[in-house]
Structures are given as C-alpha cells and as structure tokens.
C-alpha cells in the first residue's frame, strides 16, 4: 500500500510543532538582555496553535510569563494547571474581579473610571487586584491618552499624568507594570515607533517625578523585539514570532531564524479523471485546460481556508505544486492535480506548510487574500483537529485534540 495513506489521522487536520515554538521562544530569549523578562503572547488560542500547548512550550524555553486578550483565555490556562503570571490585555468588567483575584491574574487598566470601579470591587472583596497600566502613545486603542494632537508631540499633557497618577494611587489596585503598544514597528521606517517610545518614556519619567515608580516597563512586540533593541526595557511581548511567522514586512521567517509551527493538511476524498473544458465549483468560472486528475478535499472556508484564496492559491501534492480549481466552498475544495500518476483517495495534500523542498507559507496565503499572516492562522476554526507532532518532517504525534480549547 502507498505509505502516504497509511496514517489514521482524520481527513483534515492542522499539525502543530511545539518544538518549533520552543525554538522561536529561545530566539526571543537570546535576543534580549538577560534581565529582561519574556512574556509569551498566547491569545486567540495561541494564534490558532493551541494556547495551552503553546504556553507550556514557551515557559519551558525561556518565557517568564504569559499574556492573553480576555479573562476566559486566562482561566483556560489556569484550569490546565499553568501557574505562571498571566496579563490580560483586554477591557475588564467589575463583576470579573472575583475571578481575577481567585485565579491570581493581572489585569490591564487604562482609564480612571474603569480602574476606580475595579478598585472598589477588589476592596469590597478584601483583595488587591494586580494590574498593569496601559498608555496610548499613538495606537489609538485602549490606554491613557498621552498626547491629544500633532504627529511629533512628545511630552504628555498634564491630564494624562494626573489620570495615570490617580490610577496608580487607587487602594484596591497593585500596579506592577506600565506599558504601551506600537502601531508601526513592523515597517522599515521606524520613526513613528521611536516617537511612541519617547512618549512612553516621558510618561514614565513624569510619574517618577511625582514619586511613582512602577516596577515593570514594557513596549516591545515581536517586531520591535527583533529590530529595535532600545525598546526591550524590563519586559518584551513576543507573539507572532513564537509561531514562526515574520513580524517584519521586509523579512521572511527564514531570514529571521524563525521556524513555522503549523501546517494544514487534508486527504483526498475523491479522485476524478476529466477532459478539457470541465467546469469546477460555483459559477463554473474554472474549466480544465485538458485531460487531468481532479482531487476533492474536505476543507473550506468554514474551516478557515478562506474563499479569498481562490483563484490563485496552490497546494503541495507529492512535493509539487497544484492549483486550486475554482472557488473554495464552505466545506470542500477541488484541486487540479494535472498529470500526476494515478492519484489515490486518501493521499495527503498540504495546504499550509512544507512538502519535499517546497513550502506554502502563511505569508503567501496572506498575500493572496490581501491580509496578514495573523489572520490566516487564527482563522482556522474548531472544526480543524490539532495534531501535536515533534517535528514538521515526519515526527511522531505527541497528542491529538479535536477542540482548540482543550488542554
């Protein structure tokens, strides 16, 4: 029997390589000073790779703590037995303070009104909520707004420092950190990022002059971590780079020494031999050029293999490229296999990842869809089982899970 169809994996799955995540985390650790802490960002279920597995790999490989977007994500990690510090980036509700205290989580605070409500709730429960203060230096999302106008203004306005000071002095909060988020660190021109950093330092210095010293300062995402050593400060927050995806628009993962940590694979559900002008998929916009083999794959946009990939996207079959024929459908996609020798039902096709000497990268798929690699991997839905393997080159399976949220 052909060895390609002996595996008993499902007809569609994503392979995740924890050792690649570990390698990428070790790269982050080597890149920053020894006394700079590493906060592994595992929000969005570890960017689609599995938050629990990603967190464990990172914590074993140089990460000191973790970050997520929402309380529910942090609770999932705690229930899996992960006790490391976890920072929640997103906005909280006062009624969530109970769980924040119970689970020993760190909450982002960003304005006086919300912070006061959290403080009151924490005090009513007899606790003190661990918190990091976020300042908006130019991203325009959450955070105490440091400047109101002007693209070159650096010094924070007085009300910003007043608000930050008031938050720092709330009795129900234990302010352990202060941070900002860069809007354009991925771009080759880093003038705006340097401006944001200058604004951040101005806020920290202004608070220090008022007698407020916050222990941890952090600003660097993956892009700044790799390209701007001056942003490393007390802590860095690698996210995208942990998953082997490039955070810099002018550098490939290989150029940065990153190892992609996820592949998407499917097995052929049906093979057909068809002649020229054979129409395929909705709208009949694709027709075959001549006699060819067609393979139907059980994957579609409901799995996160997006409709915008067609036309133009290619897959890997037996180490060579084959084009998707017609539109990606909700649950199925057809591939024109060309003159391949007798394709078989059950043979493996790589939609994202490597086969032989070629690779279909998340960056390539993102380019076709005019989006970013983040969206390609986080779009993979819970319908796609995750299989955890030691390596992308034929390693044995470590574990298998059908739910992205399971530990």
How much is the average pLDDT of 181-195?
96
Whole-prediction pTM: 0.90
Angle between helices 158-168 and 112-124 (to 10 degrees): 10
What whole-number distance in Å separates Cα of residue 305 and Cα of residue 302?
7
63 and 394 Cβ atoms separated by less than 8 Å: no
Query: Known catalytic residue: 286?
Result: no
Question: Would the pLDDT of 398 be above 90?
Answer: no
Q: What is the pLDDT of residues 316-331, one digit of tens each?
A: 999 999 999 999 999 9
Known catalytic residue at 301: no
Which residue among 17, 43, 243, 301 is the active-site one? 43
**Beta carbons within 8 Å of 149's beta carbon, 6+ residues apart:** none
256 pLDDT tier (thresholds 50, 70, 90): very high
- Walk me through the domains of the chain, giving residue ranges and CATH numbers: 3-13+261-401 (2.40.37.10), 18-244 (3.20.20.10)
Percent of the chain with pLDDT over 70: 93
CB 374 within 8 A of CB 32: no
Q: Where are the beta strands (DSSP E) in 191-313?
A: 216-220, 235-236, 262-267, 270-274, 279-280, 286-287, 292-297
Q: For residue range 21-64, list pLDDT tens digits in order.
A: 999 999 999 999 999 999 999 999 999 999 999 999 999 999 99
Q: Predicted confidence band at 124 (pLDDT cuts at 50, 70, 90)?
A: very high
Q: Is 383 left (phi over 0), alpha (psi -120 to 50) or beta?
A: alpha
Of the listed ranges 154-168, 181-195, 361-375, the least confidently predicted one is: 154-168
Full DSSP string of 67-112 = EESSHHHHHHHHHTT--S-EEE-S---GGGHHHHHHTT-EEEE-SH
47, 179, 282, 286: which is the annotated catalytic residue?
282
Encode pLDDT of 209-247 as tens digits. Answer: 999 999 999 999 999 999 999 999 999 999 999 999 999
Beta bridge partners of 352: 264
For residue 146, the model assigns a pLDDT of 87
pLDDT score at 327:
94
Examine the pLDDT at 6 and tell me if it is beyond 80.
no
Residue 348 — very low, low, confident or very high, per pLDDT cuts 50/70/90? very high
Vertex 251: Cα angle to 198 and 134 (nearest 5):
30
């Amino acid at each position: 029997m052909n060895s390609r169809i002996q595996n008993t994996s499902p007809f569609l799955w994503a392979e995740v390589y924890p050792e690649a995540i570990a390698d990428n985390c070790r790269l982050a650790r080597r890149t920053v000073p020894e006394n700079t802490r590493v906060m592994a960002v595992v929000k969005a279920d570890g960017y689609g790779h599995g938050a629990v597995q990603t967190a464990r790999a990172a914590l074993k490989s140089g990460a000191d703590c973790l970050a997520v977007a929402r309380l529910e994500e942090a609770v999932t990690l705690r229930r899996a037995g992960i006790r490391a510090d976890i920072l929640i980036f997103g906005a909280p509700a006062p009624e969530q303070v109970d769980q924040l205290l119970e689970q020993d989580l760190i909450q982002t605070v960003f304005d006086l009104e919300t912070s006061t409500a959290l403080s009151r709730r924490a005090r009513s429960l007899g606790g003190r909520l661990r918190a990091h203060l976020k300042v908006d230096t130019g991203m325009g999302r959450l955070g105490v707004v440091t400047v109101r106008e002007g693209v070159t203004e650096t010094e924070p306005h007085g009300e910003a420092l007043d608000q930050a000071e008031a938050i720092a002095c709330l009795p129900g909060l234990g302010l352990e950190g202060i941070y900002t988020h860069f809007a354009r660190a991925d771009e080759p021109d880093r003038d705006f990022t340097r401006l944001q950093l200058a604004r951040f330092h101005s806020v920290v210095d202004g608070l220090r002059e008022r007698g407020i010293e916050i222990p941890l300062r952090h600003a660097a995402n993956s892009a700044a971590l790799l390209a701007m050593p001056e942003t490393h400060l007390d802590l860095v927050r690698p996210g995208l780079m942990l998953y082997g995806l490039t955070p810099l628009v002018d550098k490939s993962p290989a150029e940065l020494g990153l190892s992609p940590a996820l592949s998407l694979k499917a097995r052929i559900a049906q093979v057909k031999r068809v002649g020229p002008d054979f129409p395929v998929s909705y709208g009949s916009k694709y027709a075959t050029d001549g006699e060819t083999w067609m393979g139907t794959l059980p994957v579609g946009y409901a799995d996160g293999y997006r409709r915008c990939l067609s036309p133009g996207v290619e897959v890997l079959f037996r180490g060579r490229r084959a084009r998707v024929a017609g539109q990606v459908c909700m649950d199925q996609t057809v591939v024109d296999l060309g003159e391949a020798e007798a394709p078989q039902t059950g043979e493996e096709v790589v939609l994202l990842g490597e086969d032989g000497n070629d690779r279909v990268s998340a960056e390539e798929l993102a380019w076709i869809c005019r989006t970013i690699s983040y969206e390609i991997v986080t779009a993979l839905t819970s319908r796609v089982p995750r299989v955890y393997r030691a390596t992308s080159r034929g390693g044995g399976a470590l574990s298998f899970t059908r739910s992205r949220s399971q530990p």
